[in-house]
């Protein structure tokens, strides 16, 4: 067995707490895992901590601390995760969690990290340098709504087998830089909303991104309002069908090189550049709009964009420019 110290902010210092007390709405702490055993009765001291006892035999610790919204810190340094393959939603919505020790986590067999830290809105840093992600297939929403996260080092991440990165950094509004140069995205099919709402992000390194198998990039960079440039030279968009809102709200972007974009299969470009208010020029001469069904508001509120500074060949683009720019 492993003893895990999980510090919880409880108002009633000195009160006798039971398992029943912890899982009811009064303490807003719900734990749904195979068989977590609480120490029957605990006398809370000034530190306000509760001791959990976990058995090592489980390979699925999905949602282990989900919705423990009073949890402020947790030390899992001695917890044995050698056999674990599922960490889906493990800390989801632990909204007051400010520190977490995962230095000895063994993630060698984990395949699912979907929503692992989703909604941990008080976490400002996290050390994942020891994480082995070789087998992980799902990283969607992994850091979604981590609003206080100012930096995260993912240099040790191996993403060779990841298929889904939807919403991975969605709403990480305190992140100012992100280096994903080590990410192998050859197998990723979905990147929807991947960086949406990263409003303080000023730079992002996607130099090694391979998007050969990606089909959707809806809202991918939407509301990245501090991003001044994006290098998309390595992007292969041959299989993309939806680019709706892809750069919407990128209000600090002054230029965008989309020369590598293949839009032959794209059906939706709705609001693709909406609210890119500093964008002064665009070369869309390689855009093929034969399969486009909708491009409503594609250039809406692009206040600096002038018709003479836009290159295009497709009449659909010209018509949409005239509509959105009021020409």
Supply 284's token pair: 């869309």
Tell me what the mean pLDDT of segment 139-162 comes to. Answer: 95
17-21, 49-53, 153-157, 293-297: lowest mean pLDDT where?
49-53
Rounded Cα distance between 276 and 134, Å, is 37
pLDDT tens-place string over residues 34-48: 333 333 333 333 334
pLDDT tens-place string over residues 125-145: 888 988 999 999 999 999 999
Tell me what the mean pLDDT of segment 168-196 comes to. Answer: 95
User: In a 10 Å sphere around its CB, with 0-12 CB exposed, 13-18 middle and 19+ buried, how is residue 230 labelled?
Assistant: buried
The reported pLDDT for the residue numbered 40 is 32
Rounded Cα distance between 195 and 218, Å, is 11
Rounded Cα distance between 101 and 73, Å, is 8
Q: Which residues contact 72 (CB under 8 A, 6 or more apart)?
A: 7, 8, 9, 96, 97, 98, 99, 122
pTM score, two decimals?
0.84
Q: Where are the alpha helices (DSSP H) in the chain?
A: 19-23, 315-325
DSSP 104-171: T---TT--B-TTTTTT-TT------TT---TT--B-TTTTTT-TT------TT---TT--B-TTTTTT
Quickly tell me which residue has 């020790």 as its tokens: 101
The reported pLDDT for the residue numbered 3 is 39
- Contact call for residues 156 and 129 (beta carbons, < 8 A): yes
Tell me what the mean pLDDT of segment 252-267 comes to. Answer: 93
Is the pLDDT reported for residue 290 higher than 50? yes
The reported pLDDT for the residue numbered 73 is 79
Question: At residue 197, what are phi and psi to the nearest 5 degrees?
Answer: 80, 10
Q: Which residues contact 323 (CB under 8 A, 6 or more apart)?
A: none
Q: Which residues contact 11 (CB under 8 A, 6 or more apart)?
A: none
pLDDT tens-place string over residues 72-129: 877 777 777 888 999 999 999 989 888 888 888 899 999 999 999 999 999 998 889 8
3-state secondary structure of 251: coil
Is the pLDDT reported for residue 178 higher than 50? yes
Distance of CA 109 to the CA centre of its chain: 22
Query: Who wins on pLDDT, 172 or 2?
Result: 172
44-58, 108-122, 158-172, 195-209: lowest mean pLDDT where?
44-58
Model confidence band, residue 61 (pLDDT cutoffs 50, 70, 90): confident
Q: Which residues contact 307 (CB under 8 A, 6 or more apart)?
A: 321, 322, 325, 327
The reported pLDDT for the residue numbered 50 is 44
Tell me what the mean pLDDT of segment 170-194 comes to. Answer: 94
The reported pLDDT for the residue numbered 34 is 31
Supply 142's token pair: 């992994």
Tell me what the mean pLDDT of segment 180-191 comes to. Answer: 94
The reported pLDDT for the residue numbered 58 is 56
Model confidence band, residue 26 (pLDDT cutoffs 50, 70, 90): very low
Distances (CA, A) of 203 to 82, 181, 192, 199: 36, 12, 19, 11
> What 8-state DSSP symbol labels residue 68?
-
């Amino acid at each position: 067995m492993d003893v895990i110290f999980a510090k919880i902010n409880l108002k009633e210092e000195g009160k006798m707490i039971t398992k029943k007390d912890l899982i009811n709405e009064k303490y807003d702490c719900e734990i749904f895992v195979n068989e977590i055993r609480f120490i029957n009765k605990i006398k809370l001291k000034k530190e306000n901590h509760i001791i959990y006892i976990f058995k090592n035999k489980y390979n699925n610790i999905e949602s282990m601390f989900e919705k423990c919204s009073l949890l402020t810190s947790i030390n899992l340094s001695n917890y044995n995760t050698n056999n674990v393959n599922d960490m889906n939603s493990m800390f989801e919505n632990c909204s007051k969690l400010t520190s977490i020790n995962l230095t000895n986590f063994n993630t060698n067999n984990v395949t699912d990290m979907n929503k692992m830290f989703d909604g941990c809105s008080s976490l400002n840093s996290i050390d994942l340098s020891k994480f082995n992600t070789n087998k992980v297939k799902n990283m969607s929403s992994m850091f979604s709504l981590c609003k206080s996260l100012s930096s995260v080092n993912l240099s040790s991440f191996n993403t060779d087998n990841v298929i889904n990165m939807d919403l991975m950094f969605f709403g990480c509004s305190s992140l100012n830089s992100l280096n994903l140069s080590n990410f192998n995205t050859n197998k990723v099919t979905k990147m929807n909303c991947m960086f949406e709402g990263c409003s303080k992000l000023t730079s992002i390194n996607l130099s090694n991104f391979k998007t050969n198998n990606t089909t959707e990039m809806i809202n991918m960079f939407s509301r990245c309002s501090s991003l001044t440039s994006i290098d998309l030279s390595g992007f292969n968009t041959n299989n993309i069908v939806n680019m709706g809102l892809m750069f919407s709200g990128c209000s600090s972007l002054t230029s965008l090189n989309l020369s590598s974009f293949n839009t032959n299969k794209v059906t939706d470009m709705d609001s693709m550049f909406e609210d890119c208010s500093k964008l002064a020029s665009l070369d869309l001469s390689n855009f093929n709009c034969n399969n486009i069904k909708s491009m409503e508001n594609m250039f809406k509120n692009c206040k600096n964009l002038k018709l003479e500074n836009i290159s295009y060949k497709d009449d659909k683009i010209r018509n949409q420019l005239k509509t959105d720019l009021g020409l």
